[in-house]
Amino acid sequence: MFDFHCHPSFKTFLGNRRASLRKNCWTTLNFDLDFKILDSQSSLSQIRKGKGQLIVAVLYGLESAFAGSGLIKLAAGLSPHVEKRFLQEIEWGEWGYNQLMMGDWQHLMSSKNVGPNKFFKPLKSIADYDPQTDQIQVILAAEGGHNFYDSDQLPGHPQGVLENLRFHKQPGSPRLLYVTLTHLQQSAFCTHAYGMKLIKNPAFNPTGRGLRPLGKAFINEALSTQNGNRILIDIKHMSWQSRKEFYQYRDNAFPEVPMVATHMGVTGVSVLKKPVKKIKTRISDRCVQVSYYRVLGAIDTYFNPWSINLYDEDIVAIMQSGGLIGLSMDQRILGFGNVSKENFSMEEFVEEEFRSGKKPRYHPYLDYSQLPKKAFRDYQLRYFCNNWLHVVKVGMQVIGDDAWNHVCIGSDFDGLIDPIDDFKSAAHYSSLFARLVEVMPVVAQAMDLQVPPMKVQEKVRGLIFDNALSFLKEHYQ
C-alpha cells in the first residue's frame, strides 16, 4: 500500500513543546471525544497494522490561525494529548514556522527505531526502496510554503526563504519529494483556495490574485536541478487562478516536470460549468461568497464543487504533464454531505466563470442514516470510486487508457479530516484492495466506463501501489 500524503508525526508532535515529553510517532491517540477527527488516523502503528509499505510523510508547521481556533483549544482543554501552552505559543508567534517544521521532522526521525517491530526506513531516493521487506519505508514532503518563512511566522527576506528551501536539496539534508505551495491560511506565495469549513477566521479567506513574486521564485528554486535535487510542486490548496498561472509557468520554464496534486477530490465539472446557485459580495472580508447546487455523480453520489478540488481542466493539465493525482479519503472533499458556501478572493473573481444555473434534478432522496452498516459503507465507497473514475474518464480524453496509471491514494490522514467510514484510519489499508475490487466495477458500469472483469484487480493494484512506484522510479531518483 502507498499513501501520497499523510501526517504520522503531526498529532504527537503537538503533545508537548518539549521534545523529551512527547509520545513517539508509533503512539495511537484516542481523545475520547465525539469529534473523532482528533483521534490518530496515521500513527506508524496504524500504518503498520494496515500493511502500509511506502508512504509520503508530510511535515507541517501548524499555522497561527489554526492554533488559536476554538476547535484546537477545545481539544487541548479536554485531553492530555495536546499541550495548551504549546498551542498558545504558536498562536502568539513565539514559534517560527520553519522551526516547527524542522521540529516535526526531528520528532518523526526520533521514532525511526524505538523497539521491536517499531522501526521504519527513510528513503533518500527510490533506489533505497526494498520491495522484500514489510518495514514501513518513508519519503518526506512539506505542506505549505509558510514552512520556509525566514522570520518566525513572517516571510522575512526572500533570499532567506529560498535558502531554507535549498537546504532540503543538498546531500545529507532531509530530502523532500514535493512541497504544497500554500495551505489554508493566507501566505506570501500565492492566493489559496478556500478550504476551511470548521473554523471562522479572516486569515482563512483568500486574498490577492494568483502567484506572487516570491511564489514564482520559490517554484523556480524548487523545480531547478542546478541547485540540487528537484522538489516537485503540489498544486493542492492553490486557487484556480494560481493553478492556471503555475501551469503556464511550468509549460514555459520546466515543460519536462510532472505536476502533482497529492490529496484531492474533483469538482466533476469544467471551470466554466460551476453549479452556481447564488453570489454575494462581502466587502468587509474582501471576498465573494458563492453558494452551489450539488453536482450529480454516478448512481447515488455527488461531487464537491469547491475550487479546492480539481476541475476537468486541472485533470487534463496534470495528465498531459505525466503527473500523479492522489485521492483523499475525506468525506467532505469526496462530495459526501451538503455543500457549504465557498469564499473567493475579490481580485480573482471572474464573472464569466460564475454564471448562475438552474437547480439540477437530484438523485432520489436517500436517508442513509437508516441504511444497514454494509450498505452505508458501500454507499460512501461509491463516492471515492466516483472521484477516481471521473479522473480516469476525463484523462482518457487526452491520453487514452494511460490515464489509469496517473492516480493513487493520498489519504490526508491526520490532516484533521473526516474519513469515509470504511477507512477511518491507515489501520484499514489492508482491506482497501478487496473493497475496491467489489465496488469499483459497479460505479464504472454506471459511468459507461468499460473495465473488463479480468482487468479490475490490475486497475485497483495500480491505484493503491503500482502507479506511484512507477512515478517514483522516474521522478525520485
- Average pLDDT, rounded, for the chain: 94
88 and 66 in contact (C-beta within 8 Å)?
no
Contact by Cβ (8 Å): 191, 239:
yes
| Statement: residue 226 has pLDDT above 90 | yes
| AA identity, residue 15 | G
Residue 465 CA to residue 401 CA, distance in Å, equals 18
Confidence of residue 80 (pLDDT cuts 50, 70, 90): confident
Question: Mean of the pLDDT values across residues 112-121?
Answer: 93
Cα separation values, 251 from 16, 255, 348, 392, 439, Å: 44, 5, 22, 23, 37
Is the pLDDT at 200 greater than 70? The verdict is yes
| 133-153 average pLDDT score | 96
Dihedral of CA atoms 413, 417, 423, 425 in degrees, nearest 10, equals: 40
Cβ burial of 199 (10 Å; 0-12, 13-18, 19+) is middle
Sorting pLDDT into bands at 50, 70 and 90, what band is 78?
low
Nearest to 25 by CA among 1, 50, 42: 42
Helices marked H in 400-452: 432-446
Question: Residue 126 — pLDDT band, cuts 50, 70, 90?
Answer: very high
278: left (phi over 0), alpha (psi -120 to 50) or beta: beta
Q: Are strands 276-282 and 260-264 parallel, antiparallel or unpaired?
A: unpaired
- Report yes or no: 47 and 426 within 8 Å, Cβ to Cβ: yes
Q: Which three cell numbers stand for residue 394?
A: 476525463
The answer to whether the beta carbons of residues 41 and 447 sit under 8 Å apart is no
The whole-number pLDDT of residue 366 equals 84
pLDDT for residue 71 is more than 80: no
82 confidence band (pLDDT: 50, 70, 90) = confident
Q: State the maximum Cα–Cα separation within the chain, in Å, rounded to a whole number.
A: 60
For range 281-308, the mean pLDDT: 93
For residue 416, is pLDDT > 90? no
From 174, 77, 158, select the one nearest 124 (Cα to Cα). 174
pLDDT > 70: percent of the chain = 99
CA angle 315, 441, 260 (to 5 degrees): 20
Residue 370: predicted pLDDT: 87
> Where is 241: in which H helix or E strand?
helix 240-253
Over residues 333-366, the pLDDT tens digits come to 999 999 999 999 999 999 888 988 888 999 998 8
Q: Are 412 and 10 in contact (CB under 8 A)?
A: no
Query: Which is nearest to 263 in space by CA: 6, 89, 16?
Result: 6
Q: What are 196-203's contacts with CB under 8 Å, separation 24+?
A: 197/332, 197/340, 198/69, 198/71, 199/65, 199/66, 199/69, 199/70, 199/71, 201/65, 201/68, 201/69, 202/285, 203/63, 203/64, 203/65
Percent of the chain with pLDDT over 90: 85
Q: Which of 280-284, 296-300, 383-387, 453-457 has the lowest mean pLDDT?
A: 280-284
Is residue 314 over pLDDT 90?
yes
pLDDT of residue 201: 87
Please tell me the predicted confidence (pLDDT) of residue 34.
Answer: 65
Confidence of residue 147 (pLDDT cuts 50, 70, 90): very high
Closest CA to 192 of 251, 235, 141: 235
Contact 275, 293 (CB under 8 A): yes
Read off the pLDDT of residues 419-449 as tens digits, 9 standing for 90 and up. Answer: 998 899 999 999 999 999 999 999 999 999 9
